[in-house]
């Protein structure tokens, strides 16, 4: 197991349990949770884990602040969308679109890196922001290609849609009232497992990258780029390499998103809100850990998906009390979400993963 | 052989290093001395590539390296140690040294191998840590070491690069009475290797006398004297202006 994780142990028993729980929940999501909303949430989590972890490669491991990450995500998504619209329906179109999106992301990341990774971090961040904004405007304006603000809807292979039925999961009664299984296995579930499998493979690949000699160099550059250069590492080359790698993985996540959603639009793939969400996921989960991206993505997506419901129930439960029901009104969910983030950053400056590892370390030292 | 040819750098109106021409032969340890502000560290920066010269050249085995980046110069064989401790504080002691070994072996681009899987690199790292008596500190973060230990780690990083030109910038500064002889012993061992050149910036005259084959004296960025230790230290200009009372006390 540790070999699969590239020797990168979670570093805390509690964290291992959480991660295992997330893995099991996502692996069996189609059979554990009812309804399309739950499956959609699980697929989003898988995709955002990859997207956030690829951003962590940049921010947490190489110390590079970029605001162009959603742009690469969007390139991957639009690659699949355009291929599906312009090529014959089938897996070939998905493969071509995915490869084209990843290739375009690699080229663009290389060009941005060559021109701007020599400058100071803050200028690089500004340049990426400018390029990302320009691409978002371009996508909106070139509506005859991209569908503009309305985005694009397209058809994916029939085998990945709910129209195809592969069979049924045998029922398994745990108790008289609690029966597991019985669900129909449709193409939608196959689509989910395509997303889940690809996300898992990409996550393990990223774990391998950060624990490779290349990953150690990135950490050295983050810690002290001056010294890294002095011992013989060309800092600019390594920064460009990780920018390209991270962009390609973000584009692959975008392709998965497009395959899952069968729709792409600027709001869902290129928006600045999504960029902020990724940043929050990495910061809340814990920078420079990869596992932090998993925790951050799960927390954020669950909060965004279910905080309203929780607040609605809480408002009903406190209906007799003064002020509280108004405060817990579901319409105020963004206020509470913001408050939760401020508190989590305040109390866990090294992120959830960092905090759990610190606790574990302290306990080991006191023993 | 490392050479500088009329090496000059100006910062605004100030000339920090002024037309310094020197030869650093292999199998020789050259001490670079001079009072504070003489331009010793700037001269080091020019040789190792942290600063580019305004005019003049640096050549290594005849090849002009003046416009190469610090990383490129390191790959050509120039290894630089720093006066201020300059490590990777958030990485472990082992990882610090291993990174330098890995840089020398040019294995930093490996993406899919595990960093710890190279056993030979691991053994070399352990040996280097043992040389500087940090073998028990391997799992600690560099930031957690004492100042003296960090200086030792700094030396280990430089040794790991196995350069043809070693540049030590006050390597024993901040070290305890037990640590300093260890580092000086390592430098002395390197001095016996006929294929290496060693440049040493040092204030302690007893160290210079015991190790240096040649001395270069800088003052206000200019080279004012160079030659064998006895010859240079005997010069009145050096005694008066650069060594001051220290020389009398040694």
Q: Quick: pLDDT tens for A341-359.
A: 888 888 888 899 999 988 8
Closest by Cβ to A232, choosing from B75, B87, B89: B75
Distance CA A48, CA A274 (A): 10
Q: Which residues of chain A have pLDDT under 50?
A: none
For residue B41, list chain A residues with Cβ-Cβ distance below 8 A.
none
Interface-testing mutation among B76, B77, B99, with chain A (most A C-beta atoms within 10 A): B99
pLDDT number for residue A209: 96
Token duo for residue B193 = 């290797």
Q: Does the distance separating the beta carbons of B157 and A212 come in below 8 Å?
A: no
The structure tokens listed for A5 are: 């994780």
Residue A337: predicted pLDDT: 83
Residues of B in CB contact (< 8 Å) with A are 48, 50, 69-72, 74-75, 80, 82, 86-91, 95, 98-100, 102-104, 106-116, 118, 157, 161
In a domain, A351, yes or no: no
At a CB cut-off of 8 Å and minimum separation 6, what does B69 contact?
Answer: A229, A234, B49
B97 to chain A: closest CA residue: A231
Confirm if A271 and A96 have CB atoms less than 8 A apart.
no
What is the CATH classification number for the domain harbouring A142?
1.10.3470
Of the candidates A209, A222, A223, which has its C-beta nearest B111's C-beta? A209
Which residues does chain B have within 8 Å of residue A238's beta carbon, measured at their own beta carbons? 108
Q: How far is A210 from chain B (nearest CA, A)?
A: 8
The helix (H) or strand (E) run that includes residue A166 is: strand A165-168
The total domain count for chain A is: 1
Q: How many CB atoms lie within 10 A of CB A170?
A: 8
Q: Average pLDDT of chain B?
A: 89
Nearest to A214 among B75, B98, B111 (CB): B111
How far away is chain B from the Cα of A130, in angstroms, using its nearest Cα? 29
Residues of A with CB under 8 A from a CB of B: 6-7, 208-209, 211-217, 219-220, 222-224, 226-235, 238, 241
Taking an 8 Å cut-off on Cβ atoms, the answer to whether B113 and A233 are in contact is no
Q: Which residues 6+ apart lie within 8 Å of A52 measured at CB?
A: A278, A281, A282, A285, A293, A296, A297
- pLDDT of B178 reads 83
Fold classified for B1-68+165-178+196-250: Rossmann fold (3.40.50)
Chain B residues within an 8 Å CB radius of A7? 114, 116
For residue A17, being part of any structural domain is answered with yes
In a domain, A365, yes or no: no
Cβ of B114 and A228 within 8 Å? no
Number of residue pairs across A and B with CB atoms under 8 Å?
96
Q: Identify the H or E element spanning A172.
A: strand A172-173
Q: How far apart are the first and last CA of chain A?
A: 27
The Cα B144–Cα B161 span in angstroms is 23
User: Which chain B residues are within 8 Å of A61, Cβ to Cβ?
Assistant: none
| Nearest Cβ partner for B104 among A222, A230, A232 | A232
Is A232 in Cβ contact with B86 (below 8 Å)?
Answer: no
Of B89, B90, B114, the CB nearest to A212: B114
Structural domain containing residue A187: 13-303
Contacts of A9 in chain B (CB under 8 A): none
- For residues A247 and A110, the answer to whether their CB atoms sit within 8 Å is no
Q: Which of A23, A69, A67, A26 is nearest to A44 (CA)?
A: A26
Number of C-beta neighbours around residue A338 at 10 A: 10
Q: Do A216 and B72 touch (CB under 8 A)?
A: no
For chain B, give every domain's residue range.
1-68+165-178+196-250, 86-162
pLDDT over 80 at B40, yes or no: yes
Instruction: Convert chain B into a string of H (helix), E (strand) and C (coil).
Output: CEEEEEEEEEECCEEEEEEEEEEECCCEEEEEECCCCCCHHHHHHHHHCCCCCCEEEEEECCEECCCCCHHHHHHHCEEECCCCCCCCCCCEHHHHHHHHHHHHCCCCCCCCCCHHHCHHHHHHHHHHHHHCCCCCCCCCEHHHCCHHHHHHHHHHHHHHHCCCEEEEECCCCCCCCCHHHHHHHHHHHHHCCCCCEEEEECCCHHHHHHHCCEEEEEECCEEEEEECHHHHHCCHHHHHHHHHHHHHHC
pLDDT band at B106 (very low <50, low <70, confident <90, very high): very high
Question: In Å, how far is B70's CA from the nearest CA of chain A?
Answer: 6
Q: Which residues of A touch B110 (CB under 8 A)?
A: 212-214
Residue B151's nearest CA partner among B123, B170, B127 is: B170
Cα separation, B115 vs A208, in Å, equals: 9
Closest Cβ–Cβ partner in A213, A228, A233 for B113: A213
The pLDDT of residue B71 is: 95
The tens digit of pLDDT for each residue in B168-193 reads 998 888 788 888 888 888 888 888 88
The Cα of A217 is separated from the nearest Cα of chain B by a number of Å equal to 6
Closest chain B CA to residue A7:
B114
Higher-pLDDT residue of B49, B232: B49
What pLDDT does A322 receive? 83
* pLDDT tens profile B192-250: 888 899 999 988 888 888 889 999 999 889 998 899 988 888 877 677 655 554 444 43
CA distance B79 to chain A (A): 7
Selected residue of A5, A204, A227, A248 to mutate for chain B interface (largest B Cβ count, 10 A): A227
Give the closest-approach CA distance of B57 to chain A in angstroms. Answer: 19
Taking an 8 Å cut-off on Cβ atoms, the answer to whether A213 and B109 are in contact is: yes
What span, in angstroms and rounded, lies between the C-alpha atoms of A321 and A333? Answer: 19
Each residue of B150-164: pLDDT tens digit? Answer: 988 998 999 999 999
β-strand B14-24 against B165-169: which pairing, if any? unpaired
B122 chain-A contacts, CB cut-off 8 A: none
Residue A25, Cβ neighbours under 10 Å: how many? 14
Question: Quick one: pLDDT at residue A163?
Answer: 87
- Across the interface, do A213 and B107 touch by the CB < 8 Å criterion? yes
User: A314: buried, middle or exposed (CB in 10 Å: 19+, 13-18, 0-12)?
Assistant: middle
């Amino acid at each position: 197991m540790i070999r699969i994780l590239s020797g990168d142990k979670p570093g805390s028993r509690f964290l291992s349990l959480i991660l295992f729980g997330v893995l099991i929940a996502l692996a069996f999501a189609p059979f554990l949770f009812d309804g399309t909303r739950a499956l959609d949430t699980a697929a989003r989590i898988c995709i955002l884990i990859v997207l956030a972890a690829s951003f962590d490669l940049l921010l947490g491991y190489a110390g590079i602040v970029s605001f162009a990450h959603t742009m690469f995500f969007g390139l991957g998504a639009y690659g699949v969308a355009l291929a599906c619209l312009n090529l014959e329906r089938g897996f070939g179109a998905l493969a071509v679109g995915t490869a084209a999106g990843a290739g375009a992301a690699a080229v663009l990341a290389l060009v941005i890196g060559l021109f701007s990774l020599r400058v100071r971090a803050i200028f690089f961040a500004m340049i990426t922001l400018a390029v990302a904004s320009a691409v978002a405007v371009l996508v909106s304006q070139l509506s005859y290609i991209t569908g503009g603000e309305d985005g694009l809807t397209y058809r994916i292979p029939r085998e990945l849609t709910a129209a195809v039925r592969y069979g049924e999961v045998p029922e398994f009664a745990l108790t008289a009232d609690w029966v597991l299984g019985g669900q129909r296995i449709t193409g939608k579930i196959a689509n989910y497992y395509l997303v889940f499998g690809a996300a898992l493979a990409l996550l393990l690949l990223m774990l391998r990258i950060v624990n490779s000699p290349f990953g150690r160099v990135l950490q050295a550059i983050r810690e002290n780029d001056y010294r890294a250069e002095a011992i013989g590492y060309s800092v600019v080359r390594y920064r460009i390499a990780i920018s390209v790698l991270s962009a390609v993985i973000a584009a692959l996540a975008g392709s998965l998103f497009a395959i899952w959603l069968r729709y792409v639009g600027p709001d869902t793939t290129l928006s600045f809100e999504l960029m902020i969400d990724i940043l929050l996921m990495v910061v809340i989960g814990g920078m420079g850990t990869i596992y932090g991206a998993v925790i951050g993505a799960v927390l954020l997506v669950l909060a965004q998906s279910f905080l309203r419901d929780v607040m609605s129930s809480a408002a009903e439960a406190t209906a007799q009390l003064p002020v509280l029901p108004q405060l817990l009104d579901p319409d105020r969910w963004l206020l509470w979400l913001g408050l939760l983030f401020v508190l989590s950053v305040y109390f866990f400056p090294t992120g959830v993963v960092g905090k759990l590892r610190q606790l574990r370390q302290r306990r080991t030292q006191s023993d | 052989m490392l050479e500088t040819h009329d090496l000059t750098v100006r910062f605004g109106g100030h000339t920090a290093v002024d037309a310094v021409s020197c030869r650093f032969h292999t199998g020789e340890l050259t001490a670079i001395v001079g009072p504070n502000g003489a331009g010793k560290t700037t001269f080091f920066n020019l040789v190792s590539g942290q600063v580019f010269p305004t005019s003049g050249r640096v050549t290594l085995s005849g090849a002009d390296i003046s416009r190469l980046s610090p990383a490129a110069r390191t790959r050509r064989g120039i290894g630089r140690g720093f006066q201020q401790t300059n490590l990777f504080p958030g990485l472990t002691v082992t990882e610090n040294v291993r990174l330098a070994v890995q840089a020398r072996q040019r294995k930093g681009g490996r993406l899919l191998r595990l960093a710890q899987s190279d056993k030979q690199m691991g053994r070399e790292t352990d040996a280097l840590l043992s040389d500087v008596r940090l073998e028990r500190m391997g799992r600690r973060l560099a930031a957690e070491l004492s100042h003296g230990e960090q200086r030792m780690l700094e030396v280990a990083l430089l040794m790991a690069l196995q350069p043809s030109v070693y540049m030590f910038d006050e390597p024993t500064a901040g070290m305890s009475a037990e640590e300093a002889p260890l580092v000086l012993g390592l430098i002395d061992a390197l001095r016996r290797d006929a294929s290496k050149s060693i440049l040493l910036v040092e204030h302690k005259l007893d160290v210079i006398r015991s190790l240096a084959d040649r001395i270069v004296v800088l003052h206000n960025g200019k080279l004012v004297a160079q030659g064998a230790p006895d010859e240079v230290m005997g010069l009145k200009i050096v005694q008066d202006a650069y060594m001051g009372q220290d020389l009398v006390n040694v």
